[in-house]
Amino acid sequence: MTDPVFDTPVTRAFGTRLPIVAGGLMWLSDADYVAACAHAGIIGFITAASFPDPDDLCAQIARARDLCDGRAFGVNVSMLPKLVEGETVAETFRLIAGEGVRFVETSGRNPEPYLPILRDAGITVLHKVPSVRFAQKAQSVGVDMVSIVGAECGGHPGLDLIGTVVNEALAERRLSIPFLIGGGIGAGSQIIGALAAGAAGVVIGTRFLVAEELGAHIGYKQALVDASERDTLLTMASVRNTIRTLANDTAREVATLERDEPGIGIDRLMPLVAGRIGRDAYRSGDVSRGMLSAGQSLGLTDRIAPLAGIVAELEAEAMVALARLRPARAS
């Protein structure tokens, strides 16, 4: 039986057993991955940007529907910080709605212009932000839930670089909608801590990068297992797009350029940071090149394992943490 402590607005909204969201992973979150999440009792999100061809995205959604056997899954739509000419975000949302997807994870910028499309389709919207001030804005425009990822996270922690523990304390005071906490989450005790702080659940990315079902080369996954919490770098603050990645040759080269060439622009950095380079690393297992998003919970990724096994371990650790609290509460 699942402990009643895990009955939260997140599990009720998504119909999941545990209040864990597997956030969208660029180039990696596909139908097979979200199906593994669903069968493990959590929810995962296909990354729409990984399938820019509409037919490919539709095929992934159809495959996920078949593999999930009625269990929850969603689609992640990551928007650029500013609207650009030729952007197809609205079309992507319409496609998702037309495919009968029930849950969407948004990020990158204010989703307000697209909420009518999602509302009309009855879609639950979880918006991901790097700090509470953006969560307050998302709340004001009417999203259903927010996930707040602290500076420890892999990927984009924003410019404020507010830590996870501070974010969760501020969120409990300033938000009235359900919120999830992410950034460095990789142990079950952290789930209990987040719930105790008022969160409805947690968001996990890095800890799941070593799941067997994730479509990446085993050499890439083993490199993450071998890494520690000290093996990440923050770069690209110079172009207001801070990112935390594995500390590899590319990340170190970017850091050096930013240090030595004040005012460097994105055009100068693009040959190093283009997404296709990272995608190649996932395919080849050569982690020396590419901006490979990874958070400080690398210190908690100790082996390659089935995703269900990782989730079961998190749940067992959470129950141990909960047992530490219950005698104190009883006394």
Q: Which one has a higher pLDDT value, 268 or 327? A: 268
Report the number of distinct structural domains present in the chain: 2
* pTM of the predicted model as reported, rounded to 2 decimal places: 0.95
- Say if 128 falls within a structural domain: yes
Q: Are residues 133 and 162 in the same domain?
A: yes
CA distance 93 to 115: 9
CATH number at residue 151: 3.20.20.70
Summarised one tens digit per residue, pLDDT across range 113-128 is 999 999 999 999 999 9
Same domain for 137 and 195?
Answer: yes
Whether residues 112 and 247 fall in one domain? no
Summarised one tens digit per residue, pLDDT across range 290-316 is 999 999 999 999 999 999 999 999 999
Bridge partners, 78 (sequence order): 107
Cα(250)–Cα(54) distance, integer angstroms: 31
Per-residue pLDDT, 209: 98
Establish if 101 belongs to a structural domain: yes
Q: Is 22 in the same domain as 132?
A: yes
Structural domain including 58 reads 4-216+301-330
Do 79 and 154 sit in the same domain of this protein?
yes
Say yes or no: 84 and 202 in one domain: yes
In a domain, 291, yes or no: no
CB distance 232 to 299 below 8 Å: no
Q: Within this chain, do residues 280 and 315 fall inside the same structural domain, yes or no?
A: no
- 169 and 279 inside one domain: no
Residues 209 and 237 in one domain: no
191 and 248, same structural domain? no
Q: Are residues 97 and 196 in the same domain?
A: yes
Q: For the chain, how many residues are written?
A: 331
The Cα–Cα gap between 206 and 221 comes to 11
